[in-house]
Amino acid sequence: MLNITPAALDHLPVIRDIAYRTWPATFGEILSPEQIAYMLEMMYSLDALREQVNEKQHVFLLATEPDSDQFLGYASYELNYQNQPITKIHKIYILPESQGKGVGNALISAVTDVARQHGNTALSLNVNKHNKAVRFYERIGFAIAKTETIDIGNGFIMDDLVMIKPL
Ligand SMILES: CC(C)(COP(=O)(O)OP(=O)(O)OC[C@H]1O[C@@H](n2cnc3c(N)ncnc32)[C@H](O)[C@@H]1OP(=O)(O)O)[C@@H](O)C(=O)NCCC(=O)NCCS
């Protein structure tokens, strides 16, 4: 069993720490070290995280084992994305040593519960085309909807798949 709890602003450094421990293994063979550093700074500086929570309505969830203060991973989501009944999963990262043990599944289940409670009818997310996570998403019921290439500045692009799961 896992505990899934909403993160407080005090937890933002923990989220940043998990990202910095997870991204090199996730993207080391997909993106250049320069692009990884650029994206981490853009998405995970404390200012950027605070802006996501305070101004962009992103909600972060953290996973722990019961009776433990060790955080294993996080997800963030946004209800009613772009004024549609869709919940966008912006982020989901599990520490390398805790992957493959059901933590990702538990976080998506928690997001699914909230999305349904708010009458949202689908989950949506972006994932890099070459990320192994595509198989995870397919396993839990997502399907590829389209490709999306996003210019993130500094000469870098994100080469993504958009994946959707109807609820
Ligand atoms: C992708 C990720 C979130 C999945 O979470 P996880 O806790 O490792 O996955 P779970 O243990 O909950 O797996 C759930 C199911 O998906 C399957 N699965 C997980 N990863 C898989 C993979 N790479 N390939 C195929 N199946 C996979 C599991 O076998 C399991 O299936 P089962 O229910 O039949 O046993 C996690 O591995 C992670 O953080 N990866 C690195 C960061 C990342 O890529 N994040 C996504 C960015 S878009």
The model's pLDDT over 98-134, given as tens digits with 9 standing for 90+, comes to 999 999 999 999 999 999 999 999 999 999 999 999 9
Q: Give the helix/strand (H/E) hosting 68.
A: none
What is the DSSP secondary structure assignment for residue 7, as one 8-state letter? P
pLDDT surpasses 90 at 31: yes
- Cβ(95) – ligand 1 distance below 6 Å: no
Q: pLDDT digits over 48-107, tens only?
A: 999 999 999 999 999 999 888 899 999 999 999 999 999 999 999 999 999 999 999 999
Ligand 1 within 6 A of CB of 26: yes
- Which one of 97, 136, 164 would you pick to mutate in the ligand 1 pocket, going by the greatest count of ligand atoms within 8 A of its CB? 136
Distances (CA, A) of 40 to 17, 117, 144: 11, 32, 25
Residue 102 CA to ligand 1 center (angstroms) comes to 8
Decide which of 150 and 66 is more confident.
Answer: 150
Q: Does the pLDDT value for residue 162 go beyond 90?
A: yes
Whole-angstrom Cα distance, residue 76 to residue 90?
Answer: 5
- CA angle 163-165-167, nearest 5°? 160
Cβ neighbours of 57 (radius 10 Å)? 12
List, in order, residues 6 or more apart from 36 with CB less than 8 Å away: 23, 24, 27, 28
Per-residue confidence (pLDDT) for residue 133, from 0 to 100: 98
Beta bridge partners of 73: 63, 94
In CATH, 3-120 is 3.40.630.30:
yes
Q: pLDDT value at position 84? A: 98
**pLDDT for the residue 1:** 82
Kindly give the residue spans of alpha helices, DSSP state H, lying in the chain. Answer: 12-27, 33-44, 46-54, 103-117, 133-139
